[in-house]
Every structure is written in structure tokens, then in C-alpha cells.
Amino acid sequence: MSDLDVRQDYNYLYDHAYSVWSPYLSAAEIDLRFYLGDQWSEDEKRYLWEQERQAFVINMIKRTVDQLSGYQIKHRLSSIVLPVESSDRQTADQRSKYLMHVLSNGGGYEMLSQAFASAMRTGIALASVYKDYRDDVLDGDIRFAVDPWSSFLCDPYFSKLDWSDCSYVLKRKYLSLDQAQSLLPKHRKEVEDLFDAGWDRDGKFTWLPYQRQPGGQEMMAYDEMYLQKWKEVDLLIDSETAEILPFEIPKDRMKLFLEMYPNFTKVKKQKQYIERHILVNSEPIRKDINPFGLDEYPFAPVIASFCPDSDNWGLKLQSAIRQIIDPQRALNRNRSQRTDIVEKNMNSGWMAEENSVINPDSLFNSGQGVVVWNRKGSPTPQRMDPIQVPPSFFQEESSLQNDLMAISGLNDAAFGIPDSGNESAALMNLRQSAAVTNIQGYFENLRIAQKGISRKILKMSLSNSPAKVQRIINEPPADGFYDEDFYKYDISIQEGALTPEQKQLRFMQLVELRNLGAPITGEMLAEEAPIQGSFDLVEKIGQMEQQQAQAAQEQQQIQNQLIANQSQMAQAKAISDVALAKERFTRSIANLGLEDERASKAVQDRSDAALTRAKTISELEKMDTENLSRYLALIKMFEESNKESENRIKMQNVAVTEMAAEPDVQMSQQQQSIQEQPIQQQPQEVPQDERLL
């Protein structure tokens, strides 16, 4: 495209966009004037001046818009990267660190707040992201800027808030010679020649402040024309794995590649790209394809209210002010009329005849008011009573204020005004959050813009060297950090600890988790505490907790040693008990042998007793009848006693046999009980001399 073609395209697109957006531009200028307090038209100001009335402005609009902007600043949202697959978590965490660093240190969050406030005032603003190579000539530094409503024009037929269907965007800003040369270091001589040649203002972007000033510093018009285009590219797909080759192959080498790798198939695809033309004082200077490595616009629109269904561009795009202009006008008029009545009619005065008083000045010195002179012959001077202001004026003003708040979607709770004096802070916070539900559309549009800016930052990071990425995230980038496939990642916009209020809320949540038993240390709480001198506090708490941990560890070691000693003692006692049980079992076996011996001896004793009885019988034959009867009874008694002793020995043998089959401990206890029982002695044999008695 030649320079002439670039100029022609630029002029054509500007004329087309301006003719469509002209109603909106006029309405946005009125919205901005109302926010700044210029709420009377020139005709109205002239009329009030002729009536000797004041053009009072009771600016409720600024309060409303500032409330929205302040709420957004206190509840800023942070951007993080979430992986779709758990295997990508490391890469997602590194991207989140990079994104948070750029937005925090580069002023990205402040830029988004400024763009939001500008959109609330005028309806739209651009949140722009670019790379500044003035400090880092190799990788560049990501910077942010806000382009106001009067500095750009776009395709009027877009319908998506991310501008994915916007075919072109035109931007202009006025720069000094040094600023223009710093942005175009390779074209310094051309820029200087254009500056020396001079330039007459072309009448474009007439809403810019510089265009409204006829004199002042001589500056240069720095224009940018962004064109969103599509081209057809060849892609290679692996027929076996269905994977797409992540890079393009030149057309002259495509045939050779397909012959070497027959498993790949060539397909055609439409690919988006951005073409940027830079013009200085209406002269084309530079052309870029995908500036800053982006295949999309390097800016995102922040829009207040947008209705793509409307064919009236003055109503399609609106600010937060547009719907409350009428009640604001009526409120100002009511206050002007009421004040005029008070000033002109509330004061008393006199109605007097000419020459009716010696000193006419005395009537003027009798207080605030006026003196009405009548012709001679009129009644004596009479005092005029002040006129009361109708109560309807006050009622109407209160009604207008209520209408303004109701239309804006806000109420007293949104401004932090409690219903009662004893309302808790927690309840007030809940009521305030519920009160802003009606204007959540503004914040949703901001989230869409922030998500777009975050996506652009991540794409721009792919052109950074690994060394710079490592300096930012404090670790080497993972293998997937430079993966261009962004579709498996999702950028989540959520509330983070960015503002003091959010940090305090996070601290209270940690305290609550600790109270519930979560393993949160005092050092962790001190790091998150929103207080001054937290560094020293963290260090001291860390030392104290370290000492406590060491003491607890020593106590635990002592306790463990005590438990070990007790375990060893219990083990030794168990071994001793086993040995004792074995000893008792051995003793019981010996006792069994002893009992057998006793039983044998008892049998022997019975044999001896029988033999003795035989001998005794032979001797009894020699005795008389009386002695014989006495000795027979004695013999019978001996036999019964021997029989009982034999039965007792048999029962003891049976008990010992059953005890040997039981566990050792129980056996030892039973054996001990058996041993404790005294064994009844066998009846002694009657001496020979007694038997003969």
C-alpha cells in the first residue's frame, strides 16, 4: 500500500466513522460538562443574568459518578491464570506471577480504574497496552495508557464488547517533537523534517483539548490506523494424532515436507492479523504487522452502557450520567427559583408617600428590604410583611433528589449511610454490597476489558527472553511457558488482596481460619497484617515461634524417650512373666511326677496293708471275740480312709492335665492355686505295738 493509499484510506475511514458517531460525541461532551459542574446552557445563563438570578449548581452527578469509581477502586479485581488440566498447573502459576507483576508494577490496575472512571463520565475509554523500548532495548517493558473518548474513532457497526468484530480503529494524540522522535527512533530525521515544515490543523478529532486551543505550544499530530484483517494460511495436521503443527512452513518447502512426512495433511485456515499504520502530521511514516507480537488490538474498550440493537448512535453508547441529567437540571432550577424568592420576598419593607418622613434614609436603615414610594396624598407609610416560600418548593427538591438516586440505581446504603446509628460495620458492608447490585453491568463490562488486557499481556510475554521472565517470576520458566496455545488456559478475573480494604478482609479471614483449627502460624498472620512495621513484627514473631518450636521439640523428645523407656520396661516385664510362666509350668510337670510317685506309694501301702491284715487275721485267730470285733472295725476305717485319699489324688491329676492345655499365664495361676492347697497326708500305718493292743 502506497503512502497515497494510506492517506486516502485514513481520511475515508475517519469521515465515515465521524458521520455516524457525531451524535454520541456531542452527547458525551454534555455528559462531561455536567460532571464538571457546567450544567447551564449559554442561553439559560443569559436568561438568569437578565433576571438578576444566580445559576446555582447542586452537583449530585459528580457525587454519584465518584461513588461508582471509588467503589471500583476499593474492590479492584486481580487477574490469575487457571489451568484446564492439572498437569499445566506449574505453567499456569508462572503465568499468574508474570501477569500479577506486570499489572502491579506497571500500573495496570490503576490504568483500569482510570479507564473505568472515564467511561462512567463519557461512556467509553480505551485501556491500552504497549511495549516501551526506551529502557530495555531488547525485550521492552510493558506499559499502560488510557485513551479518552475524544482521541479515537472506531468501526460504528461493532456489536461485541471485546471488539473482535470491529474492523478498524483510528487514534490520535498530540506530541512534542522529542516525544514523537522517541516513539519512532528509526525515523528521527523524517519526523524532524515534518516538524520544520509546519502543519495546519486538519479539523479531525475536534473534541481533543489541543484542537480547541487556537494558540499555545506547537505540537505534532501522531495518528495510528489499526486495521483488523484476515488471511488464508496453510496448516499441517497429523492424521494419526490429530495434532496441528505449531509453526508455519513456507510454501516453497511445503511439497518437500509432505513427501518426507506423508502422515501430515495440509488444510487451509483463516488467520486474523493486525495491520498498523503510523502517520505524523498526516504523513505515513511506518507500517507494522501484529505490533507488539499481538494478532489483536493492543487495547480494550471499557464501556459503561452499550445497546447494539439501537440505530441511534447518540443513545446506543451512554455514560452513567446520561439518565440523571434531567433530574439534575430540574434540581438546579428549583434551587435557583427558591433562592430568588427568598432574596426578593422574604425581607420586609415600607410603602410610604413622598415627603411623608423627615429623613427618608431612616426607612432604608430600618432593616433589610425595600422602600416603595407613593405620590403625595397617599396613605401614611405602611410596613410590608415578607412573603412566605411555598412548602412545595422544599418538597419538590426532596423529590428530585430521590428521583436522581433512584434512576442512578444507588441509595443511601451505597454511600455508607446507615439506617440507624447502632448499625454494625459488617451489616453496613452487606447492605452496601447489595445496594450496588443494580449497577453490576458497569463492573461486568470492566471485567471483560480486564480479561482482554490480561490475555494481551500474556501474548506479549512470549517475545520476552527467558532471562527477563526469570527475573520477573524468580524461577526459570517452565517448558510450557512459551506455548502459544492459549485455548487450554482460562484467565479468571476475581477479587484479590490489592487494596487496603481487601488486605484487611484477607487478614480477618486468615484469623478466622486459625480459630477454626487451620495450621496458620503467627508469622503468617503478621505477614498479612495491614499494619506498619510488619517486617520487624514478622521477624520477632518468627524468632519466638522458632524458640517455641525448639522447646516443643525438646519436650517431645523427652516424652518420646519416656514412652520408649516405658515400652522397654513393659517388654522386660512381659519377658519376665513368660519366664515365670515357663518356670511354673515346669514345676507343675515335676509336681505331676511327684503325684505319680505318691500314687504308686499309696498302691504299695495298700498292698502292704493287705499283707499286714493277713498277718493280723492269723494273729486274730488267737484272740478272743471282744478284741476281734474291735480290730475289725479299725481295719474297715483304714480301708475307707485309703480309698478317699486315692480318689483325691486322681482328681488332682485330672485338674493338672486340663491346666497344661490352657495359656501359660492362666496355667501358672491355676497351678499356683493347686500348690497352695495342702495335700492331705496319707494315714500313717499303725505301729506294730498299737495293733496288738
Q: What is the secondary structure of 494-514 as a DSSP string?
A: EE-S-SHHHHHHHHHHHHHHH
With 70 as the cut, is the pLDDT of residue 282 above it?
yes
Q: Using the predicted structure, report yes or no on whether residue 153 has a pLDDT greater than 90.
A: yes
Three-state DSSP string of 92-159 = HHHHHHHHHHHHHHCCHHHHHHHHHHHHHHHCEEEEEEEEECCCCCCCCEEEEEEECHHHEEECCCCC
Question: For the ranges 220-224, 510-514, 669-673, which has the lowest average pLDDT?
Answer: 669-673
Mean pLDDT comparison of 3-12, 634-643, 671-680, highest-scoring range? 3-12
Model pLDDT, residue 690: 40
User: Rounded to an integer, what distance in angstroms lies between the CA atom of residue 287 and that of residue 306?
Assistant: 32
Rounded to the nearest angstrom, the gap between the alpha carbon of residue 617 and the centroid of all alpha carbons in its chain is 118
Q: Would you state the cell numbers that stand for residue 280, as one nine-digit string?
A: 505524523
% of the chain at pLDDT higher than 70:
69
- Lowest mean pLDDT segment, chosen from 89-103, 414-428, 546-560: 414-428
Residue 689 banded pLDDT, cuts 50, 70, 90: very low
385-423 tens-digit pLDDT: 556 666 776 777 777 777 777 777 776 666 566 655 555
Contact 528, 510 (CB under 8 A): yes
Residue 192 pLDDT grade (very low, low, confident, very high; cuts 50, 70, 90): very high
Q: Map 415-466 to HEC letters.
A: HCCCCCCCCCHHHHHHHHHHHHHHHHHHHHHHHHHHHHHHHHHHHHHCCCCH
Q: Is residue 431 predicted with pLDDT exceeding 70?
A: no
**What pLDDT shows up at residue 415?**
58
H or E element, residue 234 = strand 220-238
For residues 630 and 637, what is the distance between their CA atoms, to the nearest angstrom? 11
- Where does the pLDDT of residue 680 fall: very low under 50, low under 70, confident under 90, or very high at 90 and above? very low
Q: What pLDDT, on a 0 to 100 scale, did the predictor assign at position 692?
A: 34
The confidence band for 345, taking pLDDT boundaries of 50, 70 and 90, is low
Residue 368 pLDDT: 52
On the question of pLDDT at 109 being above 80, the answer is yes
Lowest mean pLDDT segment, chosen from 247-256, 369-378, 403-412, 550-559: 369-378
For the cut 50, the answer to whether the pLDDT of residue 687 exceeds it is: no
Q: pLDDT > 90: what percent of the chain?
A: 29
pLDDT band at 676 (very low <50, low <70, confident <90, very high): very low
Most confident of 57-71, 112-126, 228-242: 112-126
Query: Which of 101-110, 242-251, 461-470 has the weakest average pLDDT?
Result: 242-251
Structure confidence at residue 502 as a pLDDT band (50, 70, 90): low
Q: What is the pLDDT of residues 283-334, one digit of tens each?
A: 999 999 999 989 999 999 999 999 999 989 889 999 999 989 998 998 888 8
Tell me the three cell numbers of residue 303.
Answer: 464501556
Length of the chain as a residue count: 693
Least confident of 8-12, 161-165, 356-360: 356-360
Residue 61 CA to its chain's centroid (Å): 32
Residue of 201, 186, 32 whose CA lies nearest to 122: 32
Helix (H, G, I), strand (E, B) or coil at 172: strand
Query: Residue 19: is its pLDDT beyond 80?
Result: yes
- CA separation (Å) from 277 to 2, 3, 222? 11, 10, 11
The three grid cell numbers given for residue 687, joined into one nine-digit string: 505301729
Please report where in the chains the cell 448499625 appears, as a residue: 423
Nearest Cα to 323, choosing from 406, 401, 441? Answer: 406
Domains of the chain: which residue ranges?
Answer: 43-159+297-350+368-484, 167-295, 499-531, 553-691
pLDDT at residue 677 tops 70: no
**106 touches 143 (CB < 8 A):** yes
Q: What is the mean pLDDT of residues 546-562?
A: 81
Q: For residues 331-344, give the mean pLDDT.
A: 80
**Which has more confidence, 538 or 99?**
99
pLDDT of residue 321: 93
| Model pLDDT, residue 341 | 74
Tell me what pLDDT residue 227 has: 96
- Are 294 and 128 in contact by the 8 Å Cβ rule? The answer is no
What residue has cell string 517452565?
Answer: 478
- The set of cell numbers assigned to 250 is 513456507
What mean pLDDT do residues 142-169 have? 94
pLDDT, average across residues 565-590? 78
- CB-based contact 387:345 (threshold 8 Å): yes
Q: Is the pLDDT of residue 150 over 90?
A: yes
The C-alpha angle with vertex 504 and arms to 146 and 493, in degrees rounded to 5, equals 45
Q: Is the model's pLDDT at 152 over the cut of 80?
A: yes
pLDDT at 403: 75
Model confidence at 613, in pLDDT bands (50, 70, 90)? low
Average pLDDT of the chain is 78
The confidence band for 176, taking pLDDT boundaries of 50, 70 and 90, is: very high
Q: In which band, very low, low, confident or very high, does the pLDDT at 274 lie, cut at 50, 70 and 90?
A: very high
**Pseudo-torsion of CA 76, 111, 159, 489, nearest 10°?**
-60
pTM listed for this prediction: 0.69
Task: Give pLDDT, residue 36.
Answer: 95
What pLDDT score was predicted for residue 276? Answer: 96
Each residue's pLDDT tens digit, 466-487: 999 999 988 898 887 887 765 4
Predicted confidence at residue 674, as pLDDT, reads 44
Q: What is the pLDDT of residue 515?
A: 80
Q: Which of 554, 495, 545, 548 is nearest to 524 (CA)?
A: 545
Kindly give, in sequence order, each residue whose CB lies less than 8 Å from that of residue 141, ignoring residues fewer than 6 positions away.
106, 131, 132, 133, 135
**Residue 430: what pLDDT?**
67
